Structure 1
């Protein structure tokens, strides 16, 4: 798990106009909340935050101006739908040793059995509980040789040490679907043979 250090400034101006001024200075308005504390309104450097958020569940070490150091993980990220820049970010305050529930990306490796079957990602990210400073970046699942109708359940996935599932064991994560185009062609061929 990567940890990124960012310098944060406290902000006192709120509203759309203030947010636009902050973004014009290549910074991002941020709210830091959690542990029953009052939300802290901060400003973070835009480019550095954008790079940090490329890593799923990144741990951000904030050096808050005049208040000391805090650890946080991203909770909500709002991007401009057209240009893609960060408009606003909510960060959740965490402490070392604390367990948090996060979603980690599910990656696959290997090839399905021959036949043109399709792999459906029922869950693109798997909810897990992990220690805040040791959140896994992702989990990899082998799909080698799976046939149509096969499914991989949450309990079938090997999680990194220190992590446990935050969903039911029998939750379907991946499933293999039969290729529909081939079935339609076979049905059509069968109908033509029956007519002949």
Structure 2
């Protein structure tokens, strides 16, 4: 995990599309570092290190350490551009982190204890895969767990039903009750076509018996 959360970077002064193209040919990734009231800095990182890191969930949700020319800078990933079909990272935006200032970022959701609902035949629908939160860097969770152990068939969990970690608040709920979005639903299984036909036949039979 340390290799994922710690990356070496170099300041670059050769800017522009041509420079970025040359960097990519040299297996480097162009990047930008900004925020915390400081000037933006253009960077370059080794592509193999970034590509390996971006395969891990923590890369997007945790505070990373960039070693910029030997100086450690705490950051989070704000944006990343990938090649449309090649396994290449084209560009990364890093946001500086201030330990005393709250940050807004998206945290992945992990759904647990779905087994009972699956056995009951429920059709489980995940409406979101991540939740936007606000918190100090020290409270930033790696993921948010949504427990379905007590959920019943036909029930939908909303954002207000999710227990967020200490020090973490929902950006959506801060906007008002109308933003209490659905997180996951456990819907009753739909009857098959044959079952629907049998039910219709039974109903028709009962109606004919009544008329007689």
**TM-score normalised by the chain length of structure 1:** 0.85
Deviation string 1:87-114 (CA, Å, 9 cap, x unpaired) is 1111111112321111111111112164
The structure with the largest helix share of the pair is: 2
Mapped to 1, the partners of 2:192 and 2:186 lie a distance apart of: 15
Q: Does residue 172 of the first structure (1) align with residue 182 of the second (2)?
A: yes
1:113 touches 1:144 (CA, 8 Å); kept in 2? no
Larger radius of gyration: 2
Number of equivalenced pairs? 194
- Please give the residue correspondences for 1:1-196 in structure 2 after superposition, counting only pairs within 5 Å: 4-53=5-54, 54=56, 55=58, 56-65=60-69, 68-110=71-113, 111=115, 112=117, 114-144=119-149, 146-168=151-173, 170-180=180-190, 182=191, 184-194=193-203
> Tell me, which stretches of 5 or more residues in structure 2 are unaligned?
206-212
Distance 1:194 1:174 in 2: 35
Q: Which runs of 5+ in 1 are unaligned?
A: none
Kindly provide the CA deviation profile for residues 62-85 of structure 1, in whole angstroms up to 9, marking residues without a partner as x: 22238x432110000111122222
TM-score, normalization by structure 2: 0.79
**Cα RMSD, aligned residues only:** 2.5
